[in-house]
Amino acid sequence: MNPEYVPEWEQILGIPVNDFFPFRRIVRLITPAGDWVVKPVRDPVQLRWWMSVDRELRFRGFRSMPPIYTDGSRWLITPMIDGFPVSYRDRNQVRKAARLLALFHRLGRGLATPPFHRKRHPFLHRLDARLSEFARLLKTCEGMEGEIGELIRQYGRQYYRYGMEARKQIAEYPLSLLFEREWRGRFVVHQDLASHNWLLDRRGKLWLIDFETADYDWQLGDLWQLLSRVLPEQNWNSSVWHEVIAVYGEIRPLSSMELSILRKLLGFPNEFFRESLGVVKGRRGYHPEVVIPYLKRIAEATGRWRRFLRTIR
């Protein structure tokens, strides 16, 4: 970051900035009032919407998110949390995340803040887009070099069939009505529940961070995303499924239809699709040295995954 931005950060915080340096793809600020993290605003309209939702959620009692300081257009600054990202291999941390997500969902229903855009990309459309994108990738994989090419050639078509099968099964439910009800009811979702977006501080308090993808949508999609990331790390242990559902359901109860849909959704190989596409297309944050071993673990666990699906059904 350029030093010329320092006066802008000082104006937002109202205190001097003594130093700054790169930190986890963002910038860390050193000030007399402690450390802060700053990053550029990607979508000012979405940010202003989120600031209103943030105020509503805090008023309702949800305060497990860092306070935001911003000029409303260029910069977003939050206090530095002294902690570490959650590990989805730690069952205790997974339970904490499920409990906090349920509270976020329960308190984030029926909000007064209007939607920040008219054009919507609901959950099911995003699912179809990912399936279509992976289908296009399969058509070009024959000439693809390296380990990623080998993995896609060996497992890609099988996983695409699994995706089509799951998509056909969830189409049997009245999803459009469910999506529309929650969007019109202003149910908030996070939509990026990677483990690094949960921070556990030194006192054991869990924080949910990074709301640039937040919107009004189908809340079950968030729970599915959490489970689809947690369960591969837990070797598709069905007891972890039961724990997460129980912990989440204590705070935000799930209907029998939602549970049935969730079981079918876990047959959609979203992790394999997303990670493969991320590496091949060179997307930010998808480093081959990290993603390829992860894809190998997913592929090696295919049998366990399919047995898990039969168990929970």
Same structural domain, 101 and 146: yes
**pTM of the entire predicted model:** 0.94
- What sign results for the dihedral spanned by CA atoms 17, 22, 23, 25? positive
Burial (CB count within 10 angstroms: exposed 0-12, middle 13-18, buried 19+), residue 159: buried
pLDDT tops 80 at residue 119: no
Same structural domain, 147 and 176: yes
pLDDT tops 80 at residue 121: no
Same structural domain, 39 and 142: no
Using alpha carbons only, what angle is made at residue 219 by residues 256 and 69, rounded to the nearest 5 degrees?
155
Q: Are the beta carbons of 186 and 115 closer than 8 angstroms?
A: yes
Asked whether residue 19 is domain-assigned, the answer is yes
Mean pLDDT value across residues 143-158: 93
Same structural domain, 185 and 52: no
What's the pLDDT tens digit per position in 226-238? 999 999 999 999 9
Identify the residue with better confidence: 118 or 69: 69
Mean pLDDT value across residues 240-248: 98
DSSP label at 268? S
What's the pLDDT tens digit per position in 151-188? 999 999 999 999 999 999 999 999 888 999 999 999 99
pLDDT tops 90 at residue 13: yes
**End position of a domain, from candidates 80, 113, 140:** 80
What's the pLDDT tens digit per position in 37-84? 999 999 999 999 999 999 999 999 999 999 999 999 999 999 999 999
Mean of per-residue pLDDT scores for the chain: 94
| Pairwise CA distance, residues 116 & 129, whole Å | 22
CA distances from 274 to 211, 225, 277, 278 (A): 20, 12, 5, 6
**End position of a domain, from candidates 27, 54, 80:** 80
Asked whether residue 134 is domain-assigned, the answer is yes
Asked whether residue 85 is domain-assigned, the answer is no
**End position of a domain, from candidates 80, 115, 134:** 80
Same structural domain, 33 and 153: no
What's the pLDDT tens digit per position in 208-220? 999 999 999 999 9
Same structural domain, 163 and 300: yes
Same structural domain, 153 and 258: yes
Domain count, the chain: 2
Per the listing, tokens 């204590």 go with: 250
Range of the domain at 73: 3-80
